[in-house]
Chain A
Amino acid sequence: MEKKMEERIKNVMSAVFEVSVDKINDNASPDTIESWDSLKHMNLIIALEEEFDVEISESETVELLSFKLISIILNDHGVV
């Protein structure tokens, strides 16, 4: 029973930012999620890399600033 990529991303974000999964929509970003600061951003990258077994480059790191962007970048890495 493979979870869809979107669901897995939301689970990771929910765990890292300590918000419930339903609060994470397409626009979820540091503007809408209060706890999303630079330290949590580091945790997010680490958790996403572990979950999807990818390595996120430095330039991508600074771009991963919303749920939508995360999905796009993971797609680029071949995640479905």
Chain B
Amino acid sequence: MKELKYSEILKLNKEIGTNLKSNPYNITVLSNIIIHQIKEILEYPLRSEGINANVEIGDYDNIVQDSKKYQDSNIAIIFLELCNIIDGLQFKIELLNDDQLDEILEKTKSEIDLVLQNLEKTSLVLINKFTSLHFCSFNIRKNNLEELADQLNKYLENKISVNVRLVDLEKMITNVRGGNSLDLRYYYSSKALYTVAFFKAYAEYIRPFIMSANGKAKKALIFDCDNTLWKGILGEDGFDNIEMSSRTKDGAVFSEIQAMALALNKQGILIGLCSKNNPGDVDEVIETHPDMQLRDEHITINKSNWSDKVSNLKEIAQELNIGLDSLVFVDDSSFEVNLIREQLPEITVLQVPERLYEYPKMIRENIGLFYNLSFTAEDRKKIEMYKHQVKRETVKKEFTNIEGYLASLELKMTIHLDDESIIPRMSQMSQKTNQFNLTTKRYAEGDIKSFIEIDDSVVFAFSVSDKFGDSGVTGLCIINFDTINKTADIDTFLMSCRIIGRNIEYAFMDYIIDMIKEKKINVIKTKYIKTPKNEQVKEFYDKCSFSLTESCDSVRNYTLDINNYKSRQLNYIEVVNGKENGRANKECDVSSI
């Protein structure tokens, strides 16, 4: 809403209003200044959440009288503005003597008492704290206005009760963009003190009160792991190299994030993980990493596996027995963030900012999502209950139908054939890639160069780009040809984990099979060699319609009659030849094979 113009808010608010069929949620605002612009600005964000908010503004400066009239509202908001307790108080007050000051103090206290008495039965009363900042922020010495504000605020603190909460205007003033919360022009002409910008900040600040009153406070905070709870990618950088302590600049940020999560957990918010990783790897970090603050006892649910996050988040909601709209999900990947926002719009998704130093601020700005009007010891018990309810084994699930989403990504795969210019990267991939790696053969740059130079072998690499950017060279396949027997053997097939989940591997396989067909090869042999890290690709070749010829504990052997290959023909992945993009490719003389 911050970005919308005032006239746009007015228009959109009316449109949503006519479509909302639920019962009206009545909010009354009683004020001693003119604040009519707050109506639509308060209504719009609530209506966008499905709450049929209807704001009524009491008569000008009739707070006490109207408090009786509006006691049946769902929420009453009291805007008792300091400077208009008496017309022109902001300057008159400095000329008053002690008796007169006392009189104003007592008069205002009894007005507050009367208003709150009238609103005793109203389910929620929000009363603004007094602020003298508007007129006193340049004062060196404390003046009467500031003194009066302090005394009245002390009095208000005692009024907090089951249905009465205070709203800190000074925080709002800090949050207003550009610092312009006051409209002096309209204050002097019409007693309309505040700007539209201020009302936007106000609406945003009190939103958690209303969401909680409507049972819409968020209950669980779910984190991705890599570059979200720690710096680095566990599967690539390894247990020892991920950072989440103040020893490093980036690690310090993640340490703060984890501490904030812990604090929320103490208040009764459930913490969960949803990460694409080997389950064992993440468990190892949770249980033994010295810098990890979120431990087993804090994490209610842990979905670290290779399934897609849409399915995982659905399961999380199910297993915790809460609605999808009770979840907040944090991830660094634009791919995942946009996928979830599109497929599961009820979940509030927060993306780790590009500027890492803004990450803790981003979480703080959203802390209101979890605000609960009531905090009891019961909440702490609830967490224990949830933990017992949750199943901890990872479950393999089918991909949900996300083809529409994948299509919208404008995925493009560029194939590099025997490309000497990327030998260092290809060698690096063979050495670093552990998870999506069928045979885990490690090659030095010299080895890759040999493969390229030998006529009987071909080195395929690919790079991937989508509308979020270019992932760079992220896949490798090395094939050896037996020209006498007319067979091909896939020596290496691997892919970087950052592009998993987009079906790129199937598009790559289609391309490779086509190339092999052109060489008049009929039979392809290959194998899956098991390692502690590549369990997720155990059945990859089966999924590519290869036939399993024999298998033992550590090796699965496959063969493919090329005429039996079932291509996937993924029309949402564009495949281009590296050569066409101007990359210098060493000519591979295919006719000799």
Contacts and interface: CB of A to CB of B under 8 A. Distances in A.
Interface string A19-63: 000000000000000000011001100110011000000100000
Nearest to A44: B7
A51 B7 contact: yes
A6 interface: no
Contacts of B6: 43, 46-47, 50
B58 to A, nearest CB: 14
B10 A16 contact: yes
A47 B10 contact: yes
A12 B192 contact: no
Contact of B192 (A11, A42, A47): A42
Chain A contact residues, majority secondary structure:
helix
Given A46-B37, A47-B5, A51-B5, A14 B11 contact: yes
A15 interface: yes
B7 A58 contact: no
A38 B14 CA distance: 20
B519 interface: no
Nearest to B10: A15
A15 B7 contact: yes
A14 B7 CA distance: 9
Contact of A58 (B5, B37, B189): B189
A36 B241 CA distance: 66
B196 interface: yes
A15 B186 CA distance: 21
Interface residue tally on B, bucketed by range? 10 to 19
Contact of B7 (A38, A39, A42, A50): A50
Chain B contact residues, majority secondary structure:
helix
A11 B5 CA distance: 12
Contacts of A18: 10, 14
B36 interface: yes
Contacts of B14: 15, 18
B514 interface: no
A47 B36 contact: no
A16 B40 CA distance: 10
B195 to A, nearest CB: 8
B37 A43 contact: yes
Contact of B196 (A16, A46, A58): A46
Interface string B364-406: 0000000000000000000000000000000000000000000
B8 A42 contact: no
Nearest to B192: A42
Contacts of B22: none
A50 to B, nearest CB: 5
Contacts of A47: 5-7, 10
Contacts of B5: 47, 50-51
Contacts of B139: none
B564 interface: no
A11 B190 contact: no
Contacts of A12: 7
A16 B7 CA distance: 7
Interface of B: 5-8, 10-11, 14, 34, 36-37, 185-186, 189-190, 192, 196
6 contacts: A18-B14, A42-B192, A43-B6, A47-B10, A50-B5, A50-B196
Given A46-B37, A47-B5, 10 more contacts: A11-B7, A15-B7, A39-B36, A42-B36, A42-B186, A42-B192, A46-B6, A47-B10, A50-B7, A50-B196
